[in-house]
């Protein structure tokens, strides 16, 4: 087994990443220092890189899968747009690289914050597909599989890469397997986003009632475990972190399967021994479905930036080995994405200078497709 170093736009992710930049969770409207203290030190494996090297391990038959883990923070973007309609002017370049119907979808959101995340999500998906599946920007279009999960398919029906997206409180997170399909799901939560409302409810109704209000989306034993936190954890914020951690893990798993809300087994899904990322160095969660342990899915829970938790669920392939090696999350620069789209659309397509620099990645992909 040899190792092929493919240089693209950002340097190699160091094995252990530290926070390069922190941001607060604005949805709350409280100072970031408050939220930092609420969330303890959210160990934040996040790097901000504009140039990067992807290490792809070459085997005799091709390349083993390589992961993409992008975070786009839309909160500081297009600050002069305080209403959705104003994005038409202030985010004109970003919108211009999207087709008219996608532009309209973005501009239909009531809240500008949601519109920015929708725009970010569309940009990220296109960037991923155009860059790693060697598809012209305008044809980097997602479709939905039979479970309604967004996927990318070539005209021959093949899926050269897999991805999943999640957005919350201004953050858009995309996780992908760029060299071969993998069953994966991602979810991001911001436990402090609705803190005032959550704490108000808990004060007024009590912790057990707060849990019961959401009981229909959790498994029965999970509800019991959350109830139990009322006597074991005195700190309400700590309880909320457990609550949102469970939410995040479940969503990642459910999104991995693609069945989402239609899954008939939602109430038979149990996440056992879950703890917030800052309370455990590695995920100790066990997944149980209809009373049987699910042991072919890797869960990974990490805190990113200040106040956000991301969970990934990746099903291992039949070989028993991990299907996808995950590293650090990379804070993406929207300018990089927009200029890639502009260059690609200017007619150079895959031959553009920018795309040229990623040709080896694409060639590797072509070899195994």
Structure tokens at 285: 């969660």
* Residue 132 makes contact with ligand COA by CB under 6 A: no
Cβ–Cβ contacts within 10 Å for residue 58, how many? 15
Helix (H, G, I), strand (E, B) or coil at 246: helix
C-beta of residue 4 within 8 angstroms of C-beta of residue 56: yes
CB 241 within 8 A of CB 226: no
Work out whether 280 is an interface residue with ligand COA (CB under 6 A). Answer: no
Single out the segment in contact with ligand COA by CB under 6 A; choices: 6-14, 15-23, 158-166, 199-207: 158-166
CB of 229 or CB of 248, closer to ligand COA: 248
Strands 67-73 and 329-331: parallel
Q: Counting contacts by CB under 6 A, is residue 165 touching ligand COA?
A: yes
Distance CA(233)–CA(249), nearest Å, equals 20
For residue 260, the minimal CB distance to ligand COA (Å) is 3
> In the stretch 167-186, what mask flags binding to ligand COA with x, by CB under 6 A?
x-----------------x-
Tell which one of 27, 141, 217, 233 touches ligand COA (CB under 6 A). 217
CA gap 322, 297 in Å, rounded = 9
Q: Which is nearer to ligand COA, 147 or 351 (CB)?
A: 147
Q: Which is nearer to ligand COA, 78 or 274 (CB)?
A: 274
CA angle 48, 297, 120 (to 5 degrees): 35
Region near ligand COA per CB under 6 A, out of 10-18, 83-91, 148-156, 360-368: 148-156
Is 143 an interacting residue with respect to ligand COA (CB under 6 A)?
Answer: no
How open is the CA angle 287-291-295, to the nearest 5 degrees? 35
- With binding defined as CB under 6 A, does residue 141 bind ligand COA? no
What is the Cα–Cα distance from 305 to 25, expressed in whole angstroms? 9
Q: Given the complex with ligand COA, which of 247 and 308 has the nearer CB atom?
A: 247
Using CB under 6 A as the binding rule, whether residue 47 contacts ligand COA is answered as no
For residue 356, the tally of other CB atoms under 10 A from its CB is 12
Query: Contact region for ligand COA (CB under 6 A) — 65-73, 84-92, 141-149, 354-362?
Result: 141-149
The alpha carbon of residue 162 and the mean position of all alpha carbons in its chain are separated, in whole angstroms, by: 12
Using CA atoms, how far apart are residues 34 and 259, in angstroms rounded to an integer?
Answer: 37
Q: Tell me: does residue 219 bind ligand COA (CB under 6 A).
A: no
Could you tell me the smallest distance in angstroms from the CB atom of residue 88 to ligand COA? 19
Q: Is residue 187 a contact point for ligand COA (CB under 6 A)?
A: yes
Helices and strands of the chain, counted as H and E runs? 12, 16
**Should residue 147 be labelled a site residue for ligand COA when binding is judged by CB under 6 A?**
yes
Q: Interface residues for ligand COA in 225-264 (CB under 6 A)? A: 247, 250-251, 254-255, 258, 260-261
- Cβ proximity to ligand COA: between 131 and 255 the closer is 255
Would you count residue 148 as binding ligand COA (CB under 6 A)?
Answer: yes
Place of tokens 């409207």: 29
Beta carbon nearer to ligand COA, 41 or 273: 273
Distance from chain centroid for Cα 167:
7
Site for ligand COA in 299-338 (CB under 6 A): none
166 contributes a contact to ligand COA by CB under 6 A: yes
Extract the tokens encoding 228: 């139990």
Whole-number Å distance between alpha carbons of 363 and 120: 27
Characterise 150 by phi-psi region: left (phi > 0), alpha (psi -120 to 50), beta (else).
beta
Q: Which of residues 86-125 bind ligand COA (CB under 6 A)?
A: 118, 121
Tokens of 33: 């220092």
Q: Does 150 bind ligand COA (CB under 6 A)?
A: yes
Least separation in angstroms between residue 151's CB and ligand COA is 9
- Give me the residues that bind ligand COA (CB under 6 A), please: 118, 121, 147-150, 164-167, 185, 187, 217, 247, 250-251, 254-255, 258, 260-261, 266
């Amino acid at each position: 087994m040899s190792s092929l170093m493919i240089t693209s736009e950002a340097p190699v992710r160091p094995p252990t990443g530290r926070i390069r930049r922190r941001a607060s969770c604005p949805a709350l409207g409280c100072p970031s220092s408050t939220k930092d203290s609420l969330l303890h030190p959210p160990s934040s494996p996040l790097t901000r890189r504009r140039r990067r090297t992807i290490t792809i391990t070459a085997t005799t038959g091709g390349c083993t899968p390589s992961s993409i883990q992008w975070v786009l923070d839309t909160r500081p973007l297009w600050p002069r747009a305080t209403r959705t309609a104003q994005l038409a002017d202030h985010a004109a370049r970003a919108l211009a690289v999207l087709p008219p119907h996608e532009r309209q979808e973005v501009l239909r959101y009531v809240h500008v914050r949601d519109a920015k995340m929708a725009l970010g999500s569309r940009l990220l998906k296109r960037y991923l597909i155009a860059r790693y599946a060697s598809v012209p920007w305008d044809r980097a279009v997602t479709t939905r599989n039979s479970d309604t999960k967004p996927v990318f398919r070539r005209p021959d029906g093949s899926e050269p890469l897999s991805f999943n997206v999640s957005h919350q409180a201004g953050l858009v997170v995309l996780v992908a397997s760029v060299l071969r399909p993998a069953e994966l799901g991602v979810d991001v939560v911001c436990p402090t986003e609705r803190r005032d409302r959550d704490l108000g409810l808990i004060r007024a109704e009590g912790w057990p009632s707060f849990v019961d209000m959401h009981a229909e989306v959790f498994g029965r034993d999970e509800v019991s475990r959350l109830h139990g936190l009322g006597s074991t954890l005195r700190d309400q914020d700590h309880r909320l972190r457990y609550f949102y951690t469970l939410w995040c893990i479940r969503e990642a798993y459910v999104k991995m399967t693609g069945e989402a809300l239609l899954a008939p087994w939602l109430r038979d899904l149990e996440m056992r021994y879950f703890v917030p990322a800052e309370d455990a160095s590695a995920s100790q969660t066990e997944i149980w479905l209809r009373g049987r342990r699910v042991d072919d899915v890797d869960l990974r829970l990490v805190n990113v930036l200040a106040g956000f938790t991301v969970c990934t669920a990746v099903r291992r392939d039949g070989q028993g080995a991990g299907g996808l090696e995950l590293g650090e999350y990379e804070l993406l620069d929207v300018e990089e994405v927009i200029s890639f789209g502009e260059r690609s659309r200017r007619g150079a397509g895959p031959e553009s200078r920018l795309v040229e620099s990623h040709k080896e990645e694409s060639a590797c992909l072509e070899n195994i497709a």
